Copies of this chain bind each other. A is one copy, B any other.
Amino acid sequence: MRIGVDAMGGDNAPAEVVAGVLKARDALGGDLQLVLIGRAEAIEPHLPGDEAGRAGITVVDCPDVVAMDDAPVEALRNMPDSSIARLAQMHKRGEVDAIVSAGNTGAYVAACQMYLRRLAGVHRPGIAIVVPAFHGSVTLCDVGANVNCRPQHLLQYGIMAGIYAQRVAGVKVPRVGLLSIGSEDGKGNELVKKTRELLKEQPALEFIGNVEGRDLFGNVCDVVVCEGFVGNVCLKLM
């Protein structure tokens, strides 16, 4: 498997990213190939000098870097040779099997939309995270791709995160909860109230109703659906 890694994204990049890639190579081993994408002259000093030390790691040089405070879409238009854009382009061409970035979230989401497109029928991308809880894990979606959600978007997050929990976290029948401010049906804002009606009508989903902030760790559900704004606040609060 080949994994493309944005060497220029996140705090203290590229030093910390390269350190992490070396650790991943040593920990996972096997036929894993790690591709560091970014400014070669910035990456090289952090790699071992000998051939054995670089085993399994290659560097793809690209000149541009999207900063954390760059406007996502403009940054991608102006910098098609940025490490974030290159990640998505390489994935599109099948040169890597998966891509990783700790950089500008909005630019990463926009690059994936631009080069990889969405799955057929899916209206908006969502970012799912797997929260380690006391009883196992909870898949939370969305944590920041979409801060202007419609009910249909949240419904699709529930379906996609449910499949993820099933296939990746190994939950046979994922219980799906909708993040709100009270477990009772009448609680929540308009988005939550309309989404609840859509989730209820989905026979494929084991929808358990509203959940609250505390339920993320309470073993009441395996998937939590929310809008990107509140999801991102939760992620960073945790």
Contact = CB atoms under 8 A, between A and B. Distances in A.
Interface stretch (A28-36, A159-167, A208-216): A208-216
Contact of A214 (B147, B184, B185, B236): B236
Interface in A116-166: 144, 147-148
Interface residues of A, number: 32
Interface in A65-115: 68-69, 71, 105
A226 B147 CA distance: 15
Given A147-B189, A181-B147, A233 B230 contact: yes
A173 interface: no
B237 A216 contact: yes
Contact of A69 (B186, B190, B226, B233): B186
Nearest to A71: B186
Interface string A193-231: 000000000000000000011101000000000101110
B236 A237 contact: no
Contacts of A55: none
Contact of A233 (B105, B228, B234): B234
A10 interface: no
Nearest to A72: B186
A69 B234 CA distance: 25
A7 interface: no
Nearest to A234: B237
Given A228-B181, A229-B181, A213 B186 contact: no
Nearest to A69: B184
A214 to B, nearest CB: 5
Contact of A189 (B179, B214, B229, B235): B229
Contacts of A216: 237
14 contacts: A71-B186, A144-B181, A147-B181, A147-B188, A181-B229, A181-B233, A212-B233, A212-B236, A213-B233, A213-B236, A229-B230, A230-B230, A233-B234, A237-B237
Given A192-B229, A213-B237, 14 more contacts: A68-B182, A68-B184, A147-B189, A148-B189, A148-B190, A181-B232, A181-B233, A188-B229, A212-B232, A212-B236, A213-B234, A214-B236, A230-B230, A234-B237
